[in-house]
Structure 1
Amino acid sequence: MALLNIAVLDDWQNVASDVVDWSVLGSIARVSFLHDYPADTATLAERLQGFEVICVMRERTLFDQALLSRLPNLRLLVTGGMRNAALDVKAARELGIEVCGTDSYKHAAPELTWALVMGLTRNLVQEANSLRGGGWQMGIGGDLYGKTLGLLGLGSIGQKVARYGQAFGMRVIAWSQNLTPEAAAEVGVSWVSKQALFEQADVLSVHLVLSERSRGLVDAQALGWMKRQAYLINTARGPIIDEPALIEALRQRRIAGAALDVFDQEPLAQEHPFRNLDNVLATPHIGYVTGNNYQTFYGQMIEDIQAWHAGQPIRVFA
């Protein structure tokens, strides 16, 4: 039987080949690791023509109907995680392409969220750069104890961030479309209205799943409700925030600052304002980029391929 051709995409750090042992697929497949950033549809179609199986990191390369229809050899698409807004699962299914996912390490994103909270409120980047450049203290850091942490979304990630805030002595409040006062109280959090969340939070952190209902939920009106000394954190998905409205609020100093790990378009354009605004702490979507998470993603991608090859696919997208 001919060996399968497997492509592992989106390996931007050139680490996929070493995180787990891909040699276990040697009896059924040849594995190629591709380190290129996403490209236009025609380039991707040419690049991926020869592969029956493609492994992707979530929301890096867009696999829409236009690309999928130009990959006649593709039979299995495997993604890190069980959500990937960059995959047109319906189109894949219609083309006879199976789509499978993986579990994820649940602590990576909450830990980065809190790192961004600390980095932003204590001006850590500016202070570290000052010292590295031969200078000394630059300003006065903010405090967290006794302040209010607002959570837009109180799912599994939001709940972990809530516990971090509580450990720092913060009052924690939350709101989302589905959240009830009873559910919030179960984790020691106070339910408030959407407007009250934005008005009362000293640090407001976004933890919603991107959907048509959440897209643009943090709009100019919501940003206008925030305190001038408040900070906005987003490690969820870029389009939940109205990006032009946020840029304007930051330029006008209507809020104190923002820490962002996710953006409308990724990678972020070279001339994007988030690269230059002095009240923005921006990181390149590294919320899930940790050793434990990559081991989970790539290890279970191998399991998915083996199960699919044996005719018993697992973790199939609904």
Structure 2
Amino acid sequence: GACSEGRIYLCSVLSVRKSRAHQESRRKWLKVAFLVSSAVLVSLLSWSYLVSEDGVAEVLAHYSESLQDRFIEVPCSEDYDSHKRFEVLLCHSRLLFHAYQFVFFPPFYFCLLSQASILDLHSGALSVGKHFVNLYRYFGDKIQEVFTEEDFQLYRDVRRRIQQTIAQAFGISSSSMYLTKPTFFSRINSTEAKTTHDEYWHPHIDKVTYGSFDYTSLLYLSDYTEDFGGGRFVFMDVGANRTVEPRAGRVSFFTSGSENLHRVEKVRWGTRYAITISFTCNPDHGIEDPVLT
């Protein structure tokens, strides 16, 4: 009987010890699983943050690439239904993005060496802090000490080349496209925004923001990672962001409707220069090239 009871007691003790060992082992595995799942969650959150903030899901054009052509297909929106009365029906084309290296294009941002963020050559509007100054009115007869006719001719030549490139890519006549306002040089740095107009990084649709835009083009005048950090152009597509890294002389263009929601990343350091030149299919919204008067 004693032996029997002893076995029972021993079995009970072993059972308790095994139970405690099993619980300890289970706790360790739960702890490991918790740590692993936490690490995975942090990684996913970090990746999600990077994708949403920096648009790293897909890079359409790296700054180091010397591109000739690159095309991305996107579904058309209904923003162009009103254009059926024009000869050109927008967004029938497959093209979203095109990059062309203007190897001949010299630096043309001398006019932005001040703290200005936007300069419109057509109207002479120059942003200074919270206000706009009319550059032509301010300098008057001395404006030719700031600009030369060669500068304006260079601008016109570049505009014409961009227009022809867009027309060829979309398979339309360049005579059916009209330059539209605003066209402007932009200067962006890491200075803290002082007004809502300085907050360039918000997602937007050009046709909503500017109204007359049908085709938007951007000519970059400085290099990503060399002249500035951040400041990449991001197409915000469903499920993924598609990013263009600026390179001096590179042109990207796209239809301006809701199929191309986009934003610009915040510039973290340095200065980013670019020119925005856009076109319309409606001759009523067309403007002439700027002239030096």
TM-score (norm: length of structure 2): 0.22
User: Is the radius of gyration larger for structure 1 or structure 2?
Assistant: 2
TM-score (norm: length of structure 1): 0.21
